[in-house]
Chains A and B, each alone.
Chain A
Amino acid sequence: MASPLSFLGGFKLTFQHLSRPRVTVSYPQEKRPKQPRQHGRHVLNRYEDGMEKCIGCELCAGVCPANCIYVRGLDNPPDHPVSPGERYGYVYEINYLRCIHCDLCVEACPTQAITESKMFEFSFTNRSDAIYTKAELLVDDQGFPKHLPWEDWREGEAEMTGGWMRATSPSGDANYEGVVQWTGDLGAGVRAPEAGQSGRRDDEKTGSKQLRRAFYKHLQPEDVNDDQRGVAALLNDVRSKMPRRFRKDHS
């Protein structure tokens, strides 16, 4: 049987909570960090020389379960080609009132032309604004997604577009897990592979490490794993900074 004074435990717990970090984030002023593989609105990528990646093959439109993509290809003009291939995407429209952000289009794309950014904070006041055309989807001259006036972009959110694509091994082949099979992007160049399950992952470059650090302060002490707590956490932190060959988990 519980002690008759066990109700004092409630007083102790509530008093301890006075000094604990707050869970609440005051959202419009401050955003919680987004996951690297967040599915947001799409972007149409370019090669490092500025050529568009889209070849107008309409595979994305074919695979789309929500029928939200409309693509029409056209032969490249011979004197000033838009894409390196034979054809290019002449019309590219995505209706965001239909899109379910399943990213099947990203998987289907043979040239990695369409990927998704982490932007989900956009809203419209009429239906025609919901249809993003090529003018809005295509990355700008620096290779970053266009910051449209009705979208809430913050510092650092334009990085890491297409994280989900890089998270998977190409064609599902385990031999290529964590290997870059990714053509260079305008602005970002050849991006590092997303953290996989093997030792070849690079958390530093993909932003996973920063993300974990950012989320850490929102965790309650009881939610933190044993290896991230107290002395063990210190040791783990030191170990993660050591050169790889000294590390215990080196395989």
Chain B
Amino acid sequence: MNWLSSIDPLFLHGVTGVVILIVLIKIVVGFSVLMGSVTLMIWFERKAISDMQSRIGPQRWGPFGILQTLADGIKLIFKEDLMPTEADRFVYKLAPYLVLVPALVTFAIVPVGGTLTIGGHQVMLQIANPPVGILVLLAMSGISVYGVMLAGWSSGSKYPLISSVRASAQMISYEAALGITIVTIVLVTGSLSTHDIVTSQAHGIWHWNVIRLGVVPFVIFWMAITAELHRPPFDVVEADSELVGGFNTEYSSFRFAIFYLAEFMNTITMSAIIVTLFFGGPAGWVPNVAHLKWLFPIAWFLLKTVAFCFCYIWFRAALPRFRYDQVMDLGWKRLIPLSLGWMIVVAGFLIAPAWGLVMAAAVLFASVVLARAFEIGTTRSVGADSILPVVGERPLPEDVLRSWSDREEE
């Protein structure tokens, strides 16, 4: 393997062909399982939401309509692949993959089960365990913002452009709260690696991050990730009942299918990430059965992930959509300060309980100041010298209006 180490220095440290083979098998299995579970997820969503709405849902193709997604996929592939004449051809073709590939790559860092021993090799049931670990999640969601943005921009139409600006603004806003919550977890774990995060929660339900950190970071993370996914109640990006479509309005055929696929793949991946970060990943009760011990962590992981997938569907059925200003309000004014304050308090408690109390007091004081600032911001009086008059809540003063109209007449 000397020729390999000349290509990449990683191969210097005892990497043999068997190791590469195992990695390849893990990638292939992971990819195919994820693709298969996406089709199942789409079917599950349609079936569950129709149950919640007293409908029947897909039923024609396969038992219980389970092959409906396959039929839809085949239909989409055979549709005409349209491209607007004004489109930027290269970017237009690139954008779907910028959404799909991050969705696939993010799943690589999720620990699906414990550790197996195959042929003398310790194999982690996780495609990759990079030292940067959970930062891959943030990096990949950053890249998928590019996908959304470029899809809207390259369509050569103003409506997808507006929608993509809206979508990327929402994703970037919630990424801040997402990142700060992840910092809280990393502080407690002392490592970025998802494998370490999972093993630190493996000693019972009281060690799970959802309880260890207080429930607040979990709730913030869940909200932020729902907004990242554009899932209801944060689906202003492609509000089915109100808008024609979102950033992907001009896309058709298989390119549209890729966006659709990526959306649902992200839903599964983010459910898995929530389970990994807050619910101990594959941790759970394992009976002492010979040769089958490795199966139970996988089952626990799947069970928890499916539960969260179901919760996303439940959100869609139960919650009305937020208005766009409410989405931004929730992200910037509530989630980011709250996650920041909680992170500071956790950091204080990690040093010493006394520091934790001091930090809690400081955060309380800061939140009072912040609340007052928001109050001033929403109730300030509008004068002639105000830079940004508040529109909508109350009519503008007459002299301001007159000065504006005078200016236009000149």
Contacts and interface: CB of A to CB of B under 8 A. Distances in A.
B319 A7 contact: yes
Contacts of B53: 17
Interface in A14-53: 14-15, 17-18, 20-24, 26
Contacts of B54: 17, 20-24, 220
Given A17-B51, A18-B51, A10 B56 contact: no
Interface residue SS majority, chain A = loop
Contact of B55 (A11, A14, A22, A220): A22
Interface of A: 7, 10-11, 13-15, 17-18, 20-24, 26, 220
Contacts of B55: 22-24
Given A22-B56, A26-B56, A26-B59, A10 B318 contact: yes
A11 B314 contact: yes
Q: How large is the interface on B (under 10, 10 to 19, 20 to 34, 35 or more residues)?
A: 10 to 19
Interface of B: 48, 51-56, 59, 314, 317-319
Contacts, number: 33
A18 B310 CA distance: 12
Contacts of A13: 318
B318 A11 contact: yes
A218 to B, nearest CB: 10
22 contacts: A7-B318, A7-B319, A10-B318, A11-B314, A11-B318, A14-B52, A14-B314, A14-B317, A14-B318, A17-B52, A17-B54, A18-B48, A18-B51, A18-B52, A21-B54, A23-B54, A23-B55, A24-B54, A24-B55, A24-B56, A26-B56, A220-B54
A18 to B, nearest CB: 5
A133 B16 CA distance: 87
Contacts of A26: 56, 59
Nearest to A26: B56
A4 to B, nearest CB: 13
Contacts of B52: 14-15, 17-18
A15 B310 CA distance: 11
Nearest to A220: B54
Nearest to B54: A23
